[in-house]
Amino acid sequence: MSNTALLDDARLTRDEAYARAELVEIASYHIELDLRDAMDLNQSTYPVTTTLRFTADTEGSATFLNYLGDSVTSVNVNGDILDIDEVVGSARILVPNLQQENVVTIESHSQYSHSGEGLHRFVDPVDGQVYLYSQFEPADARRVYPNMEQPDLKAVFRTTMIGPDTWVLASNGEEIERTQVADNTVRVSFAPTQPISTYLTTFLAGPYATFEETWAGHESTCAEAIELRIFARQSLIDHVDAEELFDHTRRGLTWFHEQFQLPYPWGKYDQAFVPEYNLGAMENPGLVTFNEAYIFTSRATIAQHTGRATTIMHEMTHMWFGNLVTMKWWDDLWLKEAFADFFGSKAVADATELPGAWQSFAHQRKAWAYVQDSYPTTHPIVADIVDLEAARQNFDGITYAKGAAVIKQLFHYVGEDAFLEACRNYFQRFGYSTAQLRDFLGTLEESSGSDMQAWSRAWLQTSGPATLSATVSTDGTVTVHQDATDRLTGQTVLRPHKLYVSVFTLNAVNELENSSRSDVIIPAGKSTAHIADLRVPLEQTYVIVVNDHDQTYAQVAFDESSLDAVTNYPIRDPESTAVATVWSSLWTMVRQAEMPAADFVRAVAKLGDSLVDVSMHARVLEQAVMALKAYAPASQRKRLTKELGTALMDALVVLEAGSDRQRSAARALAQLAEGTDSLAAEATFLLAGDESSELSPGLQIDDELKWLLLTSLASLGRLDLARLDDELAAAHTATNELRYRTAVAALPDLALRAELWLEVFNGVDARDTPLSNAQITATARGLATSKPEFMAEQFQTLLEGLISIWESRSNNLATRTINGLFPMTHKPVKGGPAAQVKHPILVNIDAWLAQYQDAAGALRRIVIERRADILARLIAQSTKKK
């Protein structure tokens, strides 16, 4: 490749990164962002000055910086001003003639982002205030400042920001200096960081509301007190439950110090809740950013509070796993994410009073893993990540949820003491540096005395879950079977499992109750384990729950008797650990057409009220709606809608007035009513309802429920655009603006739909203003609420546009656009399950895949996964009950 072509290459390969790390060692960056004009929306860029100091091994050699900025005005290498045309491309800056010690200074302009990547700018519709925040992982720091964008080139970062003197200006380190540089304008400098990777640097600017507190410190680790701050937009100030957020933060800090025995290394602990955020949160040392949906503006269930605390703890885990010890390259992303997911749930369960952390891990987080692990695109937990594009795709259900599930199994397998000792040694040895899988396994081998290489090969280097099942002998004893084929290689992988197996039998009031439990080990390489001490009373109704307490990662298949029992009788299980395993398995069976969707919907209608765990109850109701709309044959939907709709209306009366579960039932009803004419009366009734109604006592119709119901009625054409306009005008907040978008797109007006479909497809609105990440998703979600044939009719246009969407937009915007517009609901063709691969939609997709074999791997992956989803739904719809 010529110089210029290379300088336009936004891909960064692992080989290039390794070569660069061989050549240079970075001492420090000094970055200055000038955001004084950020409030002027006509300005699309801001000035940045970046100075890097680094050493090079070979004098006279060259290296490069990564930069996706708007323009570069000056490149100064060791005092020489270089010719911009020669050294600056659209993605890289060439740094030639290296000396042993180098100082490089770049003057440039970077762009404000609307995709949530880089430095995002948001205008609050309530008060017109401008808010900025950054999001960099895995490789978007280069959208803000020129750098060497790879995790193993850690450096000390000194940052300064210029902005309005009334604003919060914050970065990783605490503020150390503030000077007035013009009227109403200040320059703020922040304390230099410990060595960190570029993806962990961060900037926050805007008139954020601030809450302050302290954590007192931790005696045995000699950890000093930490200043805590919370930031949120001014217009959300009344909704910030700072006391609860600080309480979880403090409990977490104490708990992690006890677990890891190493003081928090990053000075202050800020947590900022920011708008239009692409993820749940990001673990920037000293300044964690969160999706502001975690500031609850409508009534939130206890499950939502648990979910938020889990995210707080996930990010806190990263202060050690990820920030202190960082993966060398993105292959080992799971080395931080799996641990953060695992410890995130564990910290909530152990250190807070919130319920349901492990239950939602079992039936919600792991469901993500089981789905991802069933796709043709699945991969081993330890992935082969050749470049940044592949790295982005790896933030998936395998890296996070399956990784965490496997860590949970490992924790159970080697025991708490050995596991925590390994963590502590790992931090001591690799702190402020990078590590690879073998480094963690090495410390674990020392502390546990077990052979971790064999364990790692079986669990981390293979794909697909095992299926575990149980059989009963004539004497009532139980045998557990493992059936596992690697999805990619087709080979049998018999992994070691340590798990609980329980027997539930009917009690006097016809509930299934635990009658015995056994701790079982299936050794590596074995397909069965006989459990001599577990006996099933053959003459009674019973359920064998394999993987009670969810200690291992595996799908669970029920024998016929157990399946019959769990779909007919409530399970009495105060901790809901068996219930979580059971319902998670039933949902997998629906997706895989092993259980008719109708049976699942009926079981939920019958047993939903018996699910006491709030998050599981909500999730199972959502799954019932999904089973009905996407997996049940069209011919059964009317009847099932009546059954489920009646059950949900009954639940509003039967469940405690004003309770979380009543609210979940109302949400499910609103979703069931989308595009379902027979439920228009119920939706209208609820929307007009008040808390004193006998049919929904205590149910508060706040903004969230109101807009869910408005969307349902809009999708049925039971209200018009003018009504939606009025509703928005009455409470015009940022969140309601997105809800309004969804409701408008749900209206059946075909001309309007076509217009909005094109907006999403083109990524700009009618006035040519780019749509933000959140706006794209909100509009697409509305289009998908009803009239599935509409989305299907546009599919050819979407297919033909895929490549240009992918090439013209950021990865995140393109992904949202394509997923949002992909038509997911289709009628099966005649001929049963085997004939569905010939469905016209799949034929179309296959033709595209055949034609565009060289398309970006990440784009092909999205198309392949949506194909798999559509095929699964078609097969489920066309499977006749056995």
So which residues are the catalytic ones?
Answer: 315
Q: Which of residues 819-838 bind Zn ion (CB under 5 A)?
A: none
- Angle of CA points 155, 275, 361, to nearest 5°: 80
- Long-range contacts of the stretch 439-446 (C-beta < 8 A, 24+): 440/335, 444/410, 444/414, 444/418, 444/419, 446/422
CB of 452 to Zn ion, least distance (A): 23
CB of 337 to Zn ion, least distance (A): 5
CB of 313 to Zn ion, least distance (A): 11
Identity of the residue, 382 or 699, whose beta carbon is nearer to Zn ion in the bound complex? 382
Identity of the residue, 56 or 340, whose beta carbon is nearer to Zn ion in the bound complex? 340
Q: Give 144's DSSP letter.
A: T
Question: How many residues does the structure list for the chain?
Answer: 882
> Residue 127: phi, psi to the nearest 5?
-135, 5
Report d(CA 120, CA 115) in Å as an integer: 7
Identity of the residue, 311 or 585, whose beta carbon is nearer to Zn ion in the bound complex? 311
Q: Which of residues 361-380 bind Zn ion (CB under 5 A)?
A: none
Identity of the residue, 149 or 337, whose beta carbon is nearer to Zn ion in the bound complex? 337
CB of 420 to Zn ion, least distance (A): 20
Q: Give 193's DSSP letter.
A: P
> 339 near 259, Cβ under 8 Å?
no
Report d(CA 255, CA 310) in Å as an integer: 14
CB of 279 to Zn ion, least distance (A): 8
CB of 784 to Zn ion, least distance (A): 28
**Amino acid letter, residue 673:** A
By CB under 5 A, residue 200 contacts Zn ion: no
Neighbour tally for 255: CB within 10 Å: 20
Identity of the residue, 260 or 500, whose beta carbon is nearer to Zn ion in the bound complex? 260
Identity of the residue, 289 or 715, whose beta carbon is nearer to Zn ion in the bound complex? 289
Q: Which of residues 58-117 bind Zn ion (CB under 5 A)?
A: none
> 462 near 493, Cβ under 8 Å?
yes
Identity of the residue, 337 or 759, whose beta carbon is nearer to Zn ion in the bound complex? 337
What counts of helices (H) and strands (E) characterise the chain? Answer: 30, 29
How distant, in Å, are the alpha carbons of 83, 343, 651, 662, 690 from that of 685? 70, 44, 15, 16, 10
**By rule CB under 5 A, what count of residues binds Zn ion?**
2
> 600 near 587, Cβ under 8 Å?
yes
Report d(CA 678, CA 682) in Å as an integer: 9
CB of 385 to Zn ion, least distance (A): 16
**Residue with the shortest CB distance to Zn ion:** 340
Report d(CA 393, CA 400) in Å as an integer: 12
> Residue 95: phi, psi to the nearest 5?
-120, 95
Identity of the residue, 310 or 786, whose beta carbon is nearer to Zn ion in the bound complex? 310
Q: Nearest-CA neighbor of 59 among 101, 17, 13?
A: 101
Q: Which of residues 593-652 bind Zn ion (CB under 5 A)?
A: none
Report d(CA 726, CA 28) in Å as an integer: 54
| Token digits of residue 332 | 């080992």
Neighbour tally for 190: CB within 10 Å: 24
CB of 318 to Zn ion, least distance (A): 6
| Token digits of residue 193 | 């960081």
CB of 397 to Zn ion, least distance (A): 13
Maximal C-alpha separation, the chain = 89
CB of 193 to Zn ion, least distance (A): 19
CB of 345 to Zn ion, least distance (A): 13
CB of 211 to Zn ion, least distance (A): 24
3-state secondary structure of 84: helix
The distance from CA 463 to its chain's CA centroid, rounded to whole angstroms, is: 21
Per-residue binder mask for Zn ion (CB under 5 A), 246-265, x = binder: --------------------
> 673 near 679, Cβ under 8 Å?
yes
- Extended strands (E) in 216-368: 226-232, 269-274, 281-282, 287-291, 325-327
Per-residue binder mask for Zn ion (CB under 5 A), 168-197, x = binder: ------------------------------
Please, what is the end-to-end C-alpha distance for the chain in angstroms?
60
Contacts of 241 (CB under 8 A, 6+ apart): 296
Q: Which of residues 8-67 bind Zn ion (CB under 5 A)?
A: none
Identity of the residue, 161 or 340, whose beta carbon is nearer to Zn ion in the bound complex? 340
Identity of the residue, 131 or 343, whose beta carbon is nearer to Zn ion in the bound complex? 343
Identity of the residue, 259 or 399, whose beta carbon is nearer to Zn ion in the bound complex? 399
Per-residue binder mask for Zn ion (CB under 5 A), 278-317, x = binder: ----------------------------------------
> Residue 250: phi, psi to the nearest 5?
-65, -45
> 822 near 792, Cβ under 8 Å?
no
Report d(CA 360, CA 399) in Å as an integer: 18
Angle formed by the axes of helices 811-821 and 750-762, nearest 10°: 150
> Residue 119: phi, psi to the nearest 5?
-100, 105
Identity of the residue, 92 or 336, whose beta carbon is nearer to Zn ion in the bound complex? 336
The distance from CA 88 to its chain's CA centroid, rounded to whole angstroms, is: 35
CB of 281 to Zn ion, least distance (A): 8
Identity of the residue, 317 or 878, whose beta carbon is nearer to Zn ion in the bound complex? 317
Angle formed by the axes of helices 416-430 and 437-448, nearest 10°: 130
Helix, strand, coil percent values for the chain (each to nearest 5): 45, 20, 30
What are 499's strand-pairing partners? Answer: 520
> Residue 230: phi, psi to the nearest 5?
-125, 135
Q: Which of residues 328-357 bind Zn ion (CB under 5 A)?
A: 337, 340
| Token digits of residue 430 | 């690799």
List interacting residues with Zn ion (CB under 5 A): 337, 340
